[in-house]
Amino acid sequence: MNLSALQPQVQSLIETHKSNPDAAMQGICDLLQAEVAHYDWVGFYFADHDKRVLHLGKFAGEPTDHTTIPFGKGICGQVAESNANFVVPDVKAQDNYIACSITVKAEIVIPLFKDGLNIGQIDIDSNTIDPFTAADEEFLTWVNAQLAEIL
């Protein structure tokens, strides 16, 4: 799948649901999981900076027990602190990884910024080892920037 081909659909979801960000996020999760073969689980986590935890928002894929993640814990928690993209080609090689499913082989987490503050992130799990490229990072960074406009 050419990720840039999904941009008009993402823009349409955001435009259609600009007064309902939750619906936009659910639509984005559903779209990405359905259209990108190596996106097996797609979800948004949002930061509670006072409590230093992330809370799971909308997602597509198998339900997870990890609905709350402390800052610093796992890939998502590390991104909450670093404010940087984190691509994990093989989760077995990561010491600070929270296993969501035995089928997950790789993960990519891209922070979501609003007015310069890291308010959350998009988290994608893949059941394929090392599937993520620079194109995934660029596309997901773009998705977050578009979404931030309605948050």
| Domain parsing of the chain, residue ranges | 3-148
Residue 7 has a CB neighbour count (10 Å cut-off) of 14
45-70 per-position pLDDT tens digit: 999 999 999 999 999 999 998 999 99
Fold of 3-148: Beta-Lactamase (3.30.450)
pLDDT at 137 over 90: yes
CA-based angle 98:47:130, to the nearest 5? Answer: 40
99 or 80: which leads in pLDDT? 80
Helix axes 21-35, 7-16, angle to 10 degrees: 160
Residue 23 banded pLDDT, cuts 50, 70, 90: very high
Amino acid at 126: S
Q: What is the rounded average pLDDT for all residues in the chain? A: 94
pLDDT at 1 over 70: no
Residue 140 has a CB neighbour count (10 Å cut-off) of 25
CA-based angle 38:44:45, to the nearest 5? Answer: 130
Looking at residue 94, its pLDDT comes to 77
